[in-house]
């Protein structure tokens, strides 16, 4: 990864960050759209090869955030997608100069995501039901349980495994009841097995 993952020197003058309500079809602010398009142009090889881990930037990238600096530079962070499904851990960062010229690149995209069948055999409500049963919590969750369909590269589970990726649901179950159960539990459904991946934050001592 290059220094493009670091912020350029100077003061931020404009910021755009994608929120939960944002959709890929939404119209971007002009300055964000311009930087996003330029970033994809710098990655585009015309289908002749992989550009920084993606083959078709127009289809495989979506803007996550954009920052413009008083130096004229712009930092564009882009999430990786395939067939309109996000790729867990796939992100490319592009630093552009005052004239939109390429300066630095950072991040990683997973080519193996392109070989995944993105039609789920399990529905989102069913995924939530299984995760709740596995957690075994009978109380009320702090947020409505949510299931997000995504592509999970093998590398993100076990870095030394052979290349590959799988379609999964990420289910977030947040508990804030002040007991020992308090946690933000994240589940991944993969090949009929549930993995309690991470307790993101533990509030109770």
pTM comes to 0.80
Instruction: Find residue 77's DSSP bridge partners.
Output: 65, 93
For residues 64 and 132, state if they share a domain. no
Of 56, 86, 111, which residue is a domain's last? 111
For residues 70 and 143, state if they share a domain. no
Position 204 in a domain: no
For residues 90 and 176, state if they share a domain. no
Position 205 in a domain: no
Q: Residue 7 belongs to a domain with what CATH number?
A: 3.10.450
Give the residue numbers spanning the domain of 72. Answer: 3-111
Mean pLDDT comparison of 3-12, 116-125, 151-160, highest-scoring range: 116-125
For residues 173 and 94, state if they share a domain. no
For residues 189 and 90, state if they share a domain. no
For residues 105 and 20, state if they share a domain. yes
pLDDT, one tens digit per residue, over 139-191 is 888 888 888 899 988 888 777 777 888 888 888 888 887 777 777 666 665 43
Residue 205 has pLDDT above 50, yes or no: no
The DSSP code sequence of 93-157 is EEEE-TTS-EEEEEEE--GGGGGS----SS-HHHHHHHHHHHHT--S--SS--EEEEEEEEHHHH
pLDDT, position 93: 94
């Amino acid at each position: 990864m290059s220094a493009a993952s670091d912020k350029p020197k100077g003061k931020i003058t404009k910021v755009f960050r994608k929120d939960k309500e944002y959709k890929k079809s939404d119209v971007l602010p002009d300055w964000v759209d311009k930087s996003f398009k330029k970033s994809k142009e710098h990655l585009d090889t015309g289908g002749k090869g992989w550009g920084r881990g993606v083959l078709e930037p127009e289809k495989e990238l979506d803007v996550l955030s954009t920052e413009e600096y008083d130096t004229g530079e712009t930092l564009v962070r882009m999430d990786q997608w395939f067939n309109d499904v996000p790729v867990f851990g796939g992100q490319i960062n592009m630093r552009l100069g005052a004239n939109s010229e390429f300066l630095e690149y950072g991040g990683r995209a997973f080519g193996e995501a392109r070989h995944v069948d993105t039609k789920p055999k399990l529905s989102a409500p069913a995924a939530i039901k299984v995760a709740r049963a596995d957690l075994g919590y009978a109380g009320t969750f702090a947020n409505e349980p949510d299931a997000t369909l995504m592509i999970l590269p093998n590398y993100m589970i076990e870095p030394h495994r052979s290349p590959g990726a799988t379609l999964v649901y990420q289910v977030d179950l947040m508990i804030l009841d002040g007991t020992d159960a308090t946690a933000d539990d994240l589940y991944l459904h993969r090949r009929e097995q549930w993995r309690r991946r991470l307790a993101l934050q533990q509030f109770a001592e």
